Amino acid sequence: MSLLDRVRHCMRRDMARFRPFLIDTTRVGWVADEIADLLRAFPATFSVTADAVRLAPGLDGFEARSDAVDTVLRQLHAQGALTGWRDETYAVAPSFHAPPLLRIERAAAPAFGILTHCIHVIGFCGDGQGMKLWIARRSLSKPVGPGKLDLLANGGQPMGMSLRDNLRKECWEEAGVPDDMADRARPASVVNYMFEGQRGLRNEINFVLDLELPQGFVPRNVDGEVEEFFLWPAAQARERLAESDDFLYDAALGLIDFLIRHGAVGPETPDYLPLIHGLRSRPRE
């Protein structure tokens, strides 16, 4: 196993199984064949053809689209075809700064392969050889990745919330980091992934932020979603990343990017360029 295996895991997909999800002529996601078949039962909302899933003609405007889709999703949820309802919505748009075309329940994002956004907060102390990283172990009750190793804070970007407010929220809820300390986080990178998971296509852009924490500050979880925190030398995190899949898949990407940016993984590593290009290139689809 190697660091590159962590990156390759997040690139695995067979796009032949997916067809574009279109709003008017704008592609905003990808729908797997089995989901497309389910959507055929709702022709007032979805137009399903062999080459695409489209919102039905006449569904114009953000609210009308969002209401119609929400009604379908609630039926699929009631039937057991859509699990893990979160009561949190994501914006559906072709890119981060584009105006949203639709609002969708978070649990349905992979089913429609929509582009989602997330913040990765890497908590660290010291630098150079003495640098240490704060690593979380996720609660055993989390629906995704229970017990997996994770970043100081790692959270989806909900619709209508600024990145800064989400940063403060996640830092507080996951690690008990007060706002003034969270505000010191520095946007530093972006990692991307697109892979086929159990619930569909995970197509995400992760904003990576570095947060240098004061010596002596110890994160404590507030919302019950983290089991415990560890403070590891960078080399220990690197070794665990390379030799196990103990980290949550996306946390692994943010952490590898951090290790690259801070010189803990350098050009002498044979996989250095494939790692960087795998982490940072947008998928071609």
By the rule CB under 8 A, 267 interacts with its own copies = yes
According to the binding rule CB under 8 A, does residue 45 interact with its own copies? no
For residues 193 and 11, the answer to whether their CB atoms sit within 8 Å is yes
Q: What minimum distance in Å lies between the beta carbon of 282 and its own copies?
A: 5
Angle subtended at Cα 284 by Cα 206 and Cα 197, rounded to the nearest 5 degrees: 60
Query: Closest distance between its own copies and the C-beta of residue 70, in Å?
Result: 28
Residue 120 CA to residue 207 CA, distance in Å, equals 6
Residue 129 near its own copies by CB under 8 A? no
Q: Does 90 bind its own copies (CB under 8 A)?
A: no
* CB of 92 closer than 8 Å to CB of 101: yes
Q: Which of residues 194-253 bind its own copies (CB under 8 A)?
A: 205, 207
Which part of the chain contacts its own copies (CB under 8 A), choosing from 32-40, 57-65, 75-83, 268-276? 268-276
Q: Give SS3 for 116.
A: strand
Judged by CB under 8 A, does residue 27 bind its own copies? no
> Which residues make Cβ contacts (< 8 Å) with residue 153, sequence separation at least 6?
119, 121, 123, 167, 170, 171, 173, 174, 175, 177
Reading the block at residue 8, the tokens are: 């390759």
Binding mask 162-201 for its own copies (x = CB under 8 A): -x----------------------xxxxx-----------
Binding site for its own copies (CB under 8 A): 95-97, 163, 186-190, 205, 207, 260-263, 266-268, 270, 272-273, 276-277, 280-282, 284
